[in-house]
Amino acid sequence: MTLGLQAQIFNPQTKEITEKFFPDPDVEILTPAFKKKKGFTKYNEMMSFLDSLQNQNETFVQIKFIGNSQKGKKIPLVTINKNPSKDKIRVWIQAGIHGNEPASTEGILYFMQQLLIDNKENQELLDELEIAIVPMANIDGYEIQERFAANGLDLNRDQTKLTIPESIVLKQAFTDFNAQVALDFHEYNPFRSSYLDMGKAGFTMPYDVMFLYSGNLNHGKTIRNYTEDIFVDNAKRLLTSNSLTHHDYFTTSIIDGDLVYNQGSVNSRASATSYALTNCISTLVEVRGVNLDRTSFKRRIMTTFYIAKSYLQTAVSEKKNLMKILAESENEVKQITLKSKRQSLESNVPFIDLSNTEIENVRVNMNNALRSKSTQVRPIPVAYILLPEQTEIADKLKVLGIKIEQLTNPIALEVEAYKVIDYKKDAVKFEDVYMQDVKTTLEPVIKNFPANSFIVYTDQKNKGLLFEVLEPEAANSFVSYSVVKTDLGEELPFYRYNKAKF
């Protein structure tokens, strides 16, 4: 890599690119960061801002603290619920889970401020919606503009293994709220190293925002399509009408020396799919902003604002259809997908050519998670049964919103046992764990289950998450993440039950 390209990484965006593609709008923003010339909103500044919003709207805006960051700062959850006796759609909004993505938090502070302005449009939204907002999920990281939590781990890689303190309280709050629509706001790095060797002087991403929504096949097809065709498309139209650009989220990786493009996600370790598997409309929003400091900051705030506004408007206008689809999709999945393969589709991907600041369309093969096909499946059991000593698993399942019962008396049951027939363990830790990759065979056994064994029936709303964490071959299972440690030839400490309920 040349010195010129190295300099671009540290000072990535020229004034010419900013003025041509990403000028700030002429709008007054009065959130905390805009009251100073540099830097971003600090925790204490945010809390003063939130307190002010609550004091001005004390009858229906509440702040409660759901837990503490690792450095002891209280994590606020803001609820907005006017006329609480009315049957409402529940919308969850989260920001700042990565501490170096400042427009996520700032944009949501601005969104709250604008939503609480007393006008006819806002009143309709407030009458029909109950809204829960975590404006700064990773407080310790945000305070120093660092992606990770205080222990160096990524909160958005911890949605199933649940080993980071903040992850547990955030997921518990999400479970308690029982969202029907969920948004997680992020920012992305538009100057990725894989694009700097493209063209004469490298390329950069031209999109104000990219949308990440789940293609996981344990999430029903109807709700997947509804998310894409209604909620995402409505947001895209609003963005276009405000001269903002968008694309579905994709990343790149190097495989056998080739640059591979991957669009969408099936991965439940992150919020887009983890939320979706609770049978809700879920989208992770990636605004263009990492490493840009305050360049185009107003533009990034307004992008965040428009998307949040659009999702609320769509939830209200689609209330009847939304409730119908959520009810229908709860029982749509008829088998468990353990592994899937993305469909590869040719696609034109626009970039900005840094050599001439012109748009360059690149023809690529895009591996699209939103068009995935199952490659390994397994029937859905009536229930999973866990031995009494598996309290750690049971506790994590409860945080994920899985309903659990316990046996009052010992019982012998015919079940399927998982026996590990192939086992690999990574030599290097990922997110502080050694990942395990297993293959299992199901063996019918008569098992004596003592009193207090855990019974987890699969006819429940969050069963998609249940499959993801208990089926050992799944990429984000408790076995994969070494929550359950095993080895070749071992029997796993939970079982599949296929008879009638008892």
* Contact assessment for residue 46 and residue 102, using Cβ atoms and an 8 Å cutoff: no
Angle between the N-to-C axes of helices 391-399 and 165-177, in degrees from 0 to 180, rounded to the nearest 10:
50
Concatenating the DSSP letter of every residue in 157-223 gives G-TTT--SHHHHHHHHHHHHHT-SEEEEEEEE-SS-GGGTTSTTT-EE---SEEEE-B--TTS-HHH
Provide the token pair at 127: 């009458």
Residues 427-449: tens digit of each pLDDT: 999 999 999 999 999 999 999 99
Residues 199-246: tens digit of each pLDDT: 999 999 999 999 999 999 999 999 999 999 999 999 999 999 999 999
Gap between the Cα atoms of 453 and 411, Å rounded: 10
- Give the per-residue SS3 of 212-253: ECECCCCCCHHHHHHHHHHHHHHHHHHHHHCCCCEEECEEEE
Mean pLDDT for the stretch of residues 383-406: 97
Would you state the pLDDT for residue 159?
Answer: 95
Residues 316-328: tens digit of each pLDDT: 999 999 999 999 9
Q: What is the pTM of this model?
A: 0.95
- Percent of the chain predicted with pLDDT > 90: 91
Mean pLDDT for the stretch of residues 335-350: 94
In the predicted structure, residue 491 carries a pLDDT above the cut 80? yes
In the predicted structure, residue 13 carries a pLDDT above the cut 60? yes
Provide the token pair at 475: 């990429």
* Contact assessment for residue 230 and residue 237, using Cβ atoms and an 8 Å cutoff: no
Would you state the pLDDT for residue 260?
Answer: 87
Would you state the pLDDT for residue 11?
Answer: 52
* Contact assessment for residue 391 and residue 500, using Cβ atoms and an 8 Å cutoff: no
148 φ, ψ to 5°? Answer: -95, 165
Least confident of 85-89, 133-137, 262-266, 379-383: 85-89
- Considering the chain, what is the average pLDDT of its residues? 95
Q: What is the CATH number of domain 3-332?
A: 3.40.630.10
Q: Residue 205: how many CA atoms within 13 Å on its side-chain side?
A: 26
* Contact assessment for residue 359 and residue 376, using Cβ atoms and an 8 Å cutoff: no
* Contact assessment for residue 150 and residue 141, using Cβ atoms and an 8 Å cutoff: yes
* Domain map (residue ranges) of the chain: 3-332, 378-497
Gap between the Cα atoms of 445 and 442, Å rounded: 9
Would you state the pLDDT for residue 9?
Answer: 42
Gap between the Cα atoms of 290 and 137, Å rounded: 17
- Find how far residue 108's CA is from the centre of its chain: 16
Residues 273-282: tens digit of each pLDDT: 999 999 999 9
- Percent of the chain predicted with pLDDT > 70: 98
In the predicted structure, residue 501 carries a pLDDT above the cut 80? yes
Question: What secondary structure letter does DSSP report for 320?
Answer: H
